[in-house]
Each structure stands twice: as C-alpha cells, then as structure tokens.
C-alpha cells in the first residue's frame, strides 16, 4: 500500500486544485505540467500521510495557502499575457514574468 506523502497543488482549467498522492505520482505530474507550461507545486513529507500533517500543522497550511495565492496570481498574469498576444514561448514568458516580479517588488 502506497502512502499519500505528497500534496500536489496544480493548475487545472485556470483554477488551482490540490490532491494528496504518493511522491512519485506528484513528481511525474510536476514534470508533465511544466512541459505543458502549467503551474504546479508539491509538498512532501517522509513516511507519513501528509493529509494528517496538514490537519495539525498551521505552518504547513499557511505555506500551502501562500503557494495557492501565488499560483492564482501567476495564472491570471499568464492569461493576461495570452490576451495581449504574447506568444507561448517559454523563455519569453519567463523573462516577462521575472521582469514583472522585479517591478512589483520595488513598488
């Protein structure tokens, strides 16, 4: 029996979703999501059910919520880039996102 020691937070249809799964499944999902230019992040604990850890750890819940918030923001920004005709070139979009993050960090 595999233990669900990973919490996967990911973009699905312009929404942020989460699910509990084994670490290997989460890492495979992350790899495919990044190839498809979708947002995804994973939290992993060793040899313990992460759903239980999440239920008792306000620190982990806060980190997950921060990740979801950043992911929603990046999904909105990606949508705006698409709306304004920015090509789906990974390097170009990464550069624009970094420039935008630098700009907003000094405001």
Instruction: Please tell me the pTM assigned to this model.
Output: 0.82
Let me know: does 37 contact 11? Beta carbons within 8 Å: no
Reported as a single tens digit per residue, the pLDDT across 56-82 is: 999 999 999 999 999 999 899 889 999
Reported as a single tens digit per residue, the pLDDT across 83-103 is: 999 998 889 988 998 898 899
93 CB burial (10 A radius; 0-12, 13-18, 19+):
middle
């Amino acid at each position: 029996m595999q233990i669900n020691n990973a919490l996967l937070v990911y973009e699905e249809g312009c929404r942020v979703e989460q699910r509990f799964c084994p670490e290997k499944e989460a890492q495979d999902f992350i790899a495919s999501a990044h190839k498809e230019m979708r947002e995804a992040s994973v939290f992993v604990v060793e040899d313990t059910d992460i759903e239980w850890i999440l239920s008792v750890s306000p620190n982990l819940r806060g980190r997950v919520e921060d990740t979801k918030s950043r992911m929603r923001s990046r999904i909105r920004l990606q949508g705006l880039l698409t709306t304004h005709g920015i090509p789906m070139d990974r390097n170009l979009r990464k550069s624009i996102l970094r420039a935008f993050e630098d700009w907003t960090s000094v405001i």
